[in-house]
């Protein structure tokens, strides 16, 4: 069992432990659910009761978020009977962080006792049957950085987190997906809730027309610049995962089109659907049981 790797920026078990210990010293809350908020979706943290808020700059070893729409703070609290921790803003490789820093919070959450991870993101639609404002339940992903060897699991494995070769064919919990679909119908938003494959690319540029066409050929229904790396680490740690993408724009795949993707459009669309997405997450948690392995 190794705790360090040759890579200069790889984090040690002791780094994660130090961060978890600091958070334990600041709050008595013991979260079982972690929620990572994508661009413009930080309002999910406002749903929590009995909130304790920690800016990332105050947390030992935590990176800082630099993207508009990411507030940059960790919020502990209670939602629908579950003790939760919510990231108002995530980290991306395009900000200059390596894959170890991008996924750093997930291993900290695992050490805190989190058993379920809910990841949300803003994504571009590739599937022609999707519309801007749809919510896609992620059933699988294509991890483009990981496919070319840029994985947070590279380097010596630390068995205290998970096994050397974790399975990803069940990365997104099927029971939670079924619960989310049922909850969307009960909430009356089933008409614009989809289920599909998310593809992660590096960014920060939006995709070229040829790239968008290629990703659709690969089987991707939506594309974004986050999530897959976090999910890989979550599954390595044994967490179950529910992923939701808010389709904020349609990827341009027609050379005759005059449309251009931009971040302002992404944030504008999140405002349009944020209440629906927040309500969906809240109702899912209200009906969600703890991880069966914990019962």
Model confidence pTM above 0.85: yes
**Quick one: average pLDDT of 191-219?**
96
pLDDT by residue (tens digit) across 65-124?
887 655 899 999 999 999 999 999 899 999 999 999 999 999 999 999 999 999 999 999
In terms of pLDDT, which residue wins out, 188 or 257? 188
- pLDDT at residue 9 tops 70: no
246-256 per-position pLDDT tens digit: 998 899 998 98
pLDDT at residue 133 greater than cutoff 50: yes
pLDDT reading at 293 higher than 70: no
CA distance 150 to 85: 27
- Return the active site residues: 39, 70, 92, 94-95, 122, 225-226, 249, 263
Range 149-169 average pLDDT:
96
* pLDDT surpassing 80 at residue 23: yes
Closest among 73, 82, 121, 142 to 249, alpha carbons compared? 121
> What domains can be seen in the chain, in order of their start residue?
13-289 (3.40.50.1580)
């Amino acid at each position: 069992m190794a705790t360090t790797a040759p890579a200069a920026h790889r984090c040690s078990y002791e780094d994660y432990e130090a961060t978890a210990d600091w958070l334990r010293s600041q709050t008595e809350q013991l979260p079982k659910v972690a929620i990572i908020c994508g661009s413009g979706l930080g309002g999910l943290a406002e749903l929590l009761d009995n909130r304790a808020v920690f800016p990332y700059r105050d947390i030992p070893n935590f990176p800082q978020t630099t993207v508009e729409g990411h507030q940059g703070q960790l919020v502990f609290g209670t939602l629908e009977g579950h003790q939760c921790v919510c990231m108002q803003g995530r980290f991306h490789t395009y900000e200059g962080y390596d894959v170890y820093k991008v996924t750093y919070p997930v291993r900290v959450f695992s050490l805190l006792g989190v058993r379920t991870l809910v990841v949300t993101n803003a994504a571009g639609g590739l599937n022609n049957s999707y519309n801007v404002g749809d919510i896609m339940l992620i059933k699988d992903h294509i991890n483009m950085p990981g496919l070319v060897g840029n994985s947070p699991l590279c380097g010596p494995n630390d068995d205290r987190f998970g096994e050397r070769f974790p399975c990803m064919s069940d990365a997104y919990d099927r029971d939670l997906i079924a619960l989310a679909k049922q909850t969307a119908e009960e909430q009356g938003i089933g008409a614009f809730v989809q289920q599909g494959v998310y593809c992660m690319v590096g960014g920060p540029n939006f995709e070229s027309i040829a790239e968008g066409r290629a990703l659709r050929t690969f089987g991707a229904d939506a594309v974004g610049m986050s999530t897959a790396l976090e999910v890989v680490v979550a599954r390595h740690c044994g967490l179950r995962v529910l992923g939701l993408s808010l389709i904020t724009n349609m990827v341009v795949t027609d050379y005759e089109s005059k449309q251009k993707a931009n971040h302002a459009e992404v944030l504008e669309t999140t405002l349009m659907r944020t209440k629906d997405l927040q309500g969906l997450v809240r109702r899912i948690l209200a009906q969600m049981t703890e991880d069966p392995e914990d019962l």
